[in-house]
């Protein structure tokens, strides 16, 4: 983007300025306005515009904390270009400890490109599609595992897209997962507009996990350094593994699940990765991995039904 002025929600931000814009999307039935704070920081030097978002799902607190920390520590002030930080996209869900918005449990991330007069989720998606996406070049959308799923810090990207792959490698997480677009998702709408968005996943909903937050901040700083928006960034501690295929291990019976592995650990085919026990002591079923790979995600809810997802195992794309 150029250094010319641009507007968000009717507010002009000039080159060299930093502003918090309280973008009003709608009102509660009590007529109380709900504003979404958008923090814009612009350099006087031309460069890319980077969107940094959290809280697309209101209960995914790790992503919110990552963006908050970026702003609080001043990491969002770029040497060149512009950063647009939105710590909480789904204010409604955040207030209610909920993944969705309040209008019938709709998911914003399945509502793009949205409509001006549609559901609340659709209105939020519309404003993001119309007011923010046209201004940016790249973005990182920070997420957390939902429904008691604990995700090991990971980047999800389209590995066939050269820019998406370049940014994912610059982020340098332990796992880079090939993730096709989902219909009506934020990432697909961004791609339709020619923008490259990464999705970061780390930790579990409604629970702060230090390693997921630290990895998210460190990866973002590495991307900013790669884009020449800052001079320094944390060193890469361990090479990334490309994951093009993963499989879920599912419960063979209902009961109480005891996991023997944690996210990030390597498993071998045939390893007993957990145990399902009957709550009245009537059985114990060992769960064996059907493949070799790395634990990307684990279900932290010990009470499971037959067929429930227990563990997501990623199969690395190793060089021949």
pLDDT tens-digit readout, 21-39? 998 877 778 888 888 999 9
Bridge partners of 288, per DSSP, are 272
Tell me the pLDDT of the chain averaged across its residues: 93
Give the C-alpha distances (Å, rounded to integers) separating 119 from 34, 107, 122, 273.
15, 10, 5, 43
In the predicted model, is pLDDT for residue 113 greater than 80?
A: yes
In the predicted model, is pLDDT for residue 79 greater than 80?
A: yes
Query: Among 194, 226, 258, where does a domain finish?
Result: 226
Domain that holds residue 275: 243-316
Residue 180 lies in a domain: yes
Q: Whole-angstrom Cα distance, residue 220 to residue 188?
A: 21
Same domain, 220 and 247: no
Same domain, 257 and 301: yes
Q: Whole-angstrom Cα distance, residue 262 to residue 254?
A: 21
Mean pLDDT of 1-5: 53
Q: Whole-angstrom Cα distance, residue 204 to residue 143?
A: 9
pLDDT, one tens digit per residue, over 270-315 is: 999 999 999 999 999 999 999 999 999 999 999 999 999 999 999 9
- CATH number of the domain residue 279 falls in: 2.40.50.100
Q: Whole-angstrom Cα distance, residue 99 to residue 146?
A: 8
Structural domains of the chain, count: 2
pTM for the structure as a whole: 0.94
Residue 257 lies in a domain: yes
| CB contact at 8 A, 59 and 208 | no
Same domain, 219 and 261: no
The pLDDT confidence band at residue 1, using thresholds 50, 70 and 90, is very low
pLDDT, one tens digit per residue, over 56-77 is: 999 999 999 999 999 999 999 9
Same domain, 122 and 197: yes
- CATH number of the domain residue 79 falls in: 3.40.630.10
Residue 235 lies in a domain: no
What b/e readout covers 42-62, taking b as 16+ CB neighbours within 10 angstroms? bbeeebbbbbbbbbbbbbbbb
Residue 179 lies in a domain: yes
Same domain, 177 and 263: no
Same domain, 45 and 143: yes
| CB contact at 8 A, 307 and 287 | no
Q: SS3 for 86?
A: strand
Same domain, 170 and 291: no
Question: Which are the contacts of 201, defined by CB distance < 8 A and separation ≥ 6?
Answer: 143, 144, 145, 151, 153, 154, 155, 156
Same domain, 195 and 56: yes
Same domain, 159 and 206: yes
Same domain, 176 and 259: no
Query: Among 226, 252, 267, where does a domain finish?
Result: 226
Q: Whole-angstrom Cα distance, residue 24 to residue 34?
A: 6
Query: Among 226, 256, 282, where does a domain finish?
Result: 226
Same domain, 201 and 295: no
pLDDT, one tens digit per residue, over 129-139 is: 999 999 999 99
Bridge partners of 142, per DSSP, are 54, 200
Residue 290 lies in a domain: yes
Residue 232 lies in a domain: no
Bridge partners of 199, per DSSP, are 141, 156
Residue 301 lies in a domain: yes
Same domain, 183 and 265: no
Residue 234 lies in a domain: no
pLDDT, one tens digit per residue, over 176-187 is: 999 999 999 999
Tell me what pLDDT residue 183 has: 93
In the predicted model, is pLDDT for residue 320 greater than 60?
A: no
In the predicted model, is pLDDT for residue 319 greater than 60?
A: no
């Amino acid at each position: 983007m150029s250094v010319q002025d641009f507007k968000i929600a009717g507010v002009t931000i000039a080159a060299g300025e930093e502003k918090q814009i309280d973008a009003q999307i709608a009102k509660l039935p009590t007529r109380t306005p709900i504003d979404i704070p958008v923090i814009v920081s612009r350099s006087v030097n031309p460069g890319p515009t980077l969107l940094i978002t959290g809280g697309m799902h209101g209960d995914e607190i790790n992503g919110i904390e990552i963006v908050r920390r970026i702003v609080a520590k001043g990491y969002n002030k770029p040497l060149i270009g512009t950063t647009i930080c939105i710590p909480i996209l789904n204010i409604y869900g955040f207030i209610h400890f909920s993944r969705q918005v309040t209008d019938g449990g709709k998911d914003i991330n399945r509502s793009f490109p949205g409509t001006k007069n549609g559901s609340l989720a659709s209105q939020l998606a519309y404003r993001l599609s119309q007011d923010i996406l046209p201004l940016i070049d790249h973005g990182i959308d920070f997420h957390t595992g939902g429904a008691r799923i604990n995700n090991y810090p990971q980047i999800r990207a389209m590995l066939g897209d050269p820019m998406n792959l370049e940014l994912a490698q610059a982020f340098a997480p332990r796992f880079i997962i090939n993730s096709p677009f989902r219909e009506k998702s934020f990432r697909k709408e961004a791609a339709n507009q020619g923008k490259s968005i990464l999705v970061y996943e780390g930790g579990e909903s409604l629970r702060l996990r230090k390693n997921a937050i630290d990895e998210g901040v460190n990866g973002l700083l590495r991307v900013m350094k790669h884009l020449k928006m800052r001079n320094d960034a944390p060193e890469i501690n361990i090479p990334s593994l490309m994951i093009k295929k993963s499989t879920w291990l599912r419960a063979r019976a209902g009961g109480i699940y005891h996991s023997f592995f944690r996210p990030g650990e390597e498993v071998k085919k045939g390893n007993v990765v957990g145990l399902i026990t009957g709550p009245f002591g009537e059985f114990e079923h060992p769960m064996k991995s059907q493949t070799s790979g790395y634990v990307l995600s684990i279900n932290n809810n010990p009470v499971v039904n037959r067929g429930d997802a227990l563990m997501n195992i990623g199969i690395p794309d190793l060089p021949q």
